[in-house]
Amino acid sequence: MWHMARIRLRDILQTPWDPPNRAASVPDVPDDEAGTPTMRRARIRDVVTSERAVALVYRWHILNPTGMVAAGTAGNSLRDLGGENAELDDIRAVRRP
């Protein structure tokens, strides 16, 4: 059971934040995996960074998978983080600087 939870969490966090054919809604981030100083598109793990926020996203993905990840990118519910969505205040409040 633990292995499936770990794999689900890894896959969620590796998901790109924005679709490749759309303008980035969050700034590009340094690519630590490239070994050279390059920038890459943000992933969910770059936007949702605290343990508490990741736990909320994980649980939400269990209850409503397409709200978190849809068509290979962050789902609309997750991308609406910055809007007027009151129930997501917990995630925004625990985001690390």
- Alpha carbon distances (Å) from 72 to 17, 23, 47, 65, 75: 9, 16, 16, 12, 9
Domain extents in the chain: 2-21+37-93
What's the rounded Cα separation, in Å, for the pair 88 and 81?
6
Q: Distance between the two ends of the chain, CA-based, in angstroms? A: 32
Specify the pLDDT at position 10.
95
Residue with tokens 């969620």: 12
Q: What is the pLDDT along the chain (97 residues), one digit of tens a residue?
A: 789 999 999 999 999 998 888 888 888 888 877 677 788 888 999 888 888 888 999 998 998 888 889 988 998 888 876 544 444 445 445 444 4
Q: Alpha-carbon dihedral of residues 41, 38, 30, 16, nearest 10 degrees? A: 20
pTM: 0.75
Please report the pLDDT score of residue 9 as a whole number. Answer: 94
